[in-house]
């Protein structure tokens, strides 16, 4: 029997894949206000809730990599006869909107997608554990962990490598991260694992003081 490869099947299965992957991205939001803007961030253990801000992770980069993984994996798991496809609970759409049983999968074609998927999880875990931190006088990346109560973030390391606001000559928020030029002309780069608008609002406020 010829394999059926409908556009509907691809779209439905792709959406399920993205939904499952994005559930794995776990973020936690508190808030700090700069003017009327709500900054999504957390206050570290012992920090000042009105000043200290550990920016919440932004899943943009992991999400893009998840999308690439889906594009690589999907063709290898979506080609099989409609009658054997596995339908998700509650799906009442056009026949063919499910996933194929494992015996129809193409391992050689799936492998590259799984590697990309693993890279997405690595990026997501890195972004959750290494956060951009701004206090009253400086900015930098710190390694964090949740406390036993799972309610507050504790800074484990990195606070001694912060860049003082007084030492910042210029900065650029690029599509892929923050580039800071210090007065010594040394450059520091921070990858985009945070909301760029939140950071822009915080920097504008802190550098004016």
Q: Which three-class secondary structure state does DSSP give residue 139?
A: strand
Dihedral over Cα of 152, 166, 169, 34: its sign: positive
Instruction: Name the residue among 65, 43, 165 with its Cα closest to residue 122.
Output: 65
| Predicted local distance difference test score (pLDDT) of residue 167 | 95
pLDDT given for residue 24 in this prediction: 46
What are the helix (H) ranges across the chain?
A: 7-23, 60-77, 107-129, 196-208
Least confident segment among 14-18, 139-143, 178-182 = 14-18
Q: Note the pLDDT tens digit of each residue in 27-39.
A: 444 557 776 778 8
* Residues 30-81 pLDDT 10s: 557 776 778 888 888 888 888 899 999 988 889 999 999 988 888 888 788 8
Q: How far apart are CA 173 and CA 108, in angstroms?
A: 40
Q: What is the pLDDT of residue 10?
A: 47
Residue 202 predicted with pLDDT over 70: yes
pTM of the model: 0.72
The stretch 169-178 carries a mean pLDDT of: 93
pLDDT of residue 8: 43
Q: Residue 9: is its pLDDT beyond 60?
A: no
Q: What does pLDDT average to over the chain? A: 80
Q: How far is the C-alpha of 34 from the C-alpha of 117, rounded, in Å?
A: 36
- Which tokens is 131 given? 């956060």
């Amino acid at each position: 029997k010829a394999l059926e490869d409908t556009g509907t099947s691809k779209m439905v299965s792709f959406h399920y894949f993205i939904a499952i992957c994005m559930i794995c991205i776990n973020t936690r939001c508190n808030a700090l206000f700069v003017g009327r803007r709500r900054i999504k961030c957390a206050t570290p253990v012992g920090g000042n809730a009105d000043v200290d801000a550990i920016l919440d992770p932004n899943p943009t980069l992991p999400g893009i990599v998840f999308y690439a993984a889906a594009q690589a994996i999907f063709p290898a798991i979506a080609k099989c006869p409609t009658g054997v496809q596995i339908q998700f609970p509650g799906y009442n759409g056009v026949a063919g909107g499910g996933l194929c049983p494992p015996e129809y999968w193409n391992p050689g074609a799936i492998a590259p997608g799984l590697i990309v998927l693993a890279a997405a999880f690595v990026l997501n875990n890195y972004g959750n554990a290494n956060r951009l931190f701004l206090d009253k006088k400086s900015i930098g990346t710190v390694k964090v962990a949740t406390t036993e109560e799972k309610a507050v973030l504790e800074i484990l390391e990195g606070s001694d490598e912060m860049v003082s606001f007084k030492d910042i000559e210029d900065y650029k928020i690029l599509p892929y991260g923050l580039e800071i030029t210090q007065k010594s002309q040394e450059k520091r780069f921070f990858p985009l694992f945070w909301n760029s608008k939140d950071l822009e609002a915080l920097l504008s406020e802190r550098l004016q003081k």
